[in-house]
Amino acid sequence: MFDDTDVIKTVADFNAFVARLQEREGWQAPILWGIGRAMHTGDGNLATVRYPVVSGINENRGSATVLMHALDVPMHGVQHVQLTARRILEALKYFAPFEGDGKNHANIKALKGAQSLLKDLLTFEVKTKDFPVITFIFDDHAPLDVGSVTPKTLRAELRYLQSRRGQPNGAFASSSSCCLGW
């Protein structure tokens, strides 16, 4: 990967970079994608993945595009990428133009939540097999694992509540992206 974060100083730079990436041959938008916390049982089996943000095909496409590029994600099937401190730092560089703009950027918050989780695990020497992950679903097939069924379930619940005009005590933002907290 080349260091293209040097040229992303403004939102216009970010948008131009996203447009260039999306013009590449083979580029595909994910159907669903989210940043989450893979939670494991005591014996190390994956129990669930908690996604504070799940975005659909026409939501946060710029963020998805940049993250797929930064993390070198293959654009097919279901892709789970374990987030390391280094990967998170590299990804956050792309979003520098959005720092301090006063807007709620749920995916940037989720990346920072993942960063905080890793820091807490190291600082407090927590004995856990949990780790932050980002999941991209490109093909609408039957879920393969816990990590791919959770975003589909969250999106289905959100659509149901929105179709019923239900906003249970503001648990869901007015945006169609699902944001439930880290």
pLDDT in tens, 94-119: 999 998 898 988 888 889 888 887 77
Higher-pLDDT residue of 98 and 122 is 98
Cβ of 124: how many Cβ atoms within 10 Å?
A: 8
Mean pLDDT over 117-138 rounds to: 74
Higher-pLDDT residue of 149 and 2 is 149
Task: With cut-offs at 50, 70 and 90, classify the pLDDT of residue 121.
Answer: low
Cβ of 119: how many Cβ atoms within 10 Å?
A: 11
List the alpha helices (DSSP H) in the chain.
11-22, 61-70, 85-94, 106-123, 146-163
Cβ atoms 37, 132 nearer than 8 A: yes
Which positions ≥6 away from 88 have C-beta within 8 Å? 111, 114, 115, 118, 132
Residue 172: the pLDDT is 38
For the cut 70, the answer to whether the pLDDT of residue 82 exceeds it is yes
- Which tokens in the block code for residue 35? 């940043």
**CA trace torsion 151, 154, 156, 157 (10° rounding):** 180
Residue 97: the pLDDT is 93
For the cut 60, the answer to whether the pLDDT of residue 157 exceeds it is no
Residue 24: the pLDDT is 92
| Collapsed DSSP state (helix, strand, coil) of residue 149 | helix
Task: With cut-offs at 50, 70 and 90, classify the pLDDT of residue 165.
Answer: very low
Mean pLDDT over 27-46 rounds to: 83
Residue 123: the pLDDT is 64
Residue 149: the pLDDT is 58
Higher-pLDDT residue of 62 and 173 is 62
Q: What is the pTM of this model?
A: 0.74
> What's domain 5-179's architecture?
2-Layer Sandwich (3.30)
Indicate the average pLDDT of the chain. 76
φ and ψ of 47, to 5 deg: -95, -45
Burial class (CB in 10 A: 0-12, 13-18, 19+), 91: buried
Cβ atoms 134, 67 nearer than 8 A: yes
Sheet holding 178-179, edge to edge: 78-82, 131-137, 32-40, 46-56, 178-179
Task: With cut-offs at 50, 70 and 90, classify the pLDDT of residue 151.
Answer: low
Residue 176: the pLDDT is 39
Determine which helix (DSSP H) or strand (DSSP E) holds 28, and give its type and residue range. Answer: none
Which positions ≥6 away from 59 have C-beta within 8 Å? 175, 176, 177
